[in-house]
Structure 1
Amino acid sequence: MAGKVTSFGEIEEQFKNYIGDIVYATMTTVDAKGRPRARVLIPIWEVVDGRPIGWLATYRTPVKAAHLANNPHTTFSYWSPRQNAVSLDTVAEWVDDLEVIRRVWDLYRKGSPPGAGYELGNFWRSPADPHLHVLRLTPWRVQVIRGTDLQSKIWRDESAA
């Protein structure tokens, strides 16, 4: 049974611990015919003004770009063999601001949350690399599930309802 929480702060520690442990997320988008497409990626997350914000350093592939142009809603799913899980329903938007991309580059280097992230320099030359693209991920629903008893907690951004 899922319990609703009124502030993200009520699940923030569990959210960070699970994502830092699991690291890889399945990102699902939807094509123009309503068919889902999944891929495994490593987004990073921070909390700003009490709300989670995600960032995804990625390639702007034709499929991903077309899906997001048609429908910016995405889902990110994390799962561990211990049955701990995090699901995030988000709205994704491309970010072209070089200062934001530099900050995201640094967040990946630090690991946000700790344990997640990686050295983007392994894939792109610098934050100014024209092949590096960044998506801002604005969650409107976050669910964390503890595997030991399948306790579930859900936070919703009520302003996005």
Structure 2
Amino acid sequence: MPTVEVDSFTDLQDTFFSYVRDIKYATMITVDRRNRPRARVLLPVWEVVDGRPVGWLAVYRTPVKTAHLAHSPHTTYSYWNPRQNTVHVDALSTWAEAPADRRHAWDLYLQGSPPGVGYDPVHFWRGGPEDPGYHVIRIDPWRVQLVRGSDLRSTIWRPAAAGGDALPDAADGLARASRRP
């Protein structure tokens, strides 16, 4: 079956949220300074801002994550379920240190975003969004691929960009990540 490419996230938004709600946990892949991959399973929350998906990830700021993101903010988040439905999110991931961003992510985890995905972060960070151990990564996707397991139908979203280049460089992602939705 041919791959369908779309430039409006709206075209796959419902399926994206359906798969994320069903699967919940994603494997986050980063690379070290020698470009060797490292995977870990985490639970991002998602929203749509100005027609684009934006993810938020509550984490402990470990030395490995810190070093990897300092080397390259390019990451992949991969979701899979036994029916072979998958979501692959290629993104720029940056530390969101502003108090408003930390509070925003906290609130998305509490409410579930999408509904059914999230948890009460106070179970991990008793001091709330101001807890010194609570950190947030903002996820700005530049490509999302959905694969339906029943027939392997694939849909890929890449945002339309000025000049036709949907692949951001690290500086673009860092500038975008510093803006609040």
Residue correspondence of structure 1 range 13-32 to structure 2 within 5 A: 13-32=14-33
SS at match of 2:129: coil
TM-score by length of 2: 0.87
CA offset at residue 6 of structure 1? Answer: 2.0
CA offset at residue 158 of structure 1? Answer: 3.4
The aligned amino acid for 2:30 is T
Cα distance between partner residues in 2 of 1:156 and 1:91: 14
Higher strand share: 1
SS at match of 2:78: strand
What do the CA deviations read for 1:10-57 (whole angstroms, capped 9, x no partner)? Answer: 000000000011000000000001100000000010001110000000
Once the two structures are overlaid, the 10-residue window that deviates more, 12-21 or 150-159, is 150-159
Aligned to 1:96: 97
C-alpha contact (below 8 Å) 2:9/2:157 kept by paired residues: yes
Q: Which runs of 5+ in 2 are unaligned?
A: 168-181
Is 2:157 aligned against 1:127?
no
Residue correspondence of structure 1 range 46-85 to structure 2 within 5 A: 46-85=47-86
The aligned amino acid for 2:10 is G
Cα distance between partner residues in 2 of 1:6 and 1:96: 30
C-alpha contact (below 8 Å) 1:139/1:157 kept by paired residues: no
Could you say what the CA RMSD is over the residues aligned between the two structures, in angstroms? 0.8
Aligned to 1:156: 158
Q: Which runs of 5+ in 1 are unaligned?
A: none
Cα distance between partner residues in 1 of 2:75 and 2:159: 15
Structure 1 segments of 4 or more deviating over 6 A?
A: none
**Aligned pairs, number:** 161
Cα distance between partner residues in 2 of 1:60 and 1:144: 29
C-alpha contact (below 8 Å) 1:84/1:145 kept by paired residues: yes
CA offset at residue 157 of structure 1? Answer: 2.2
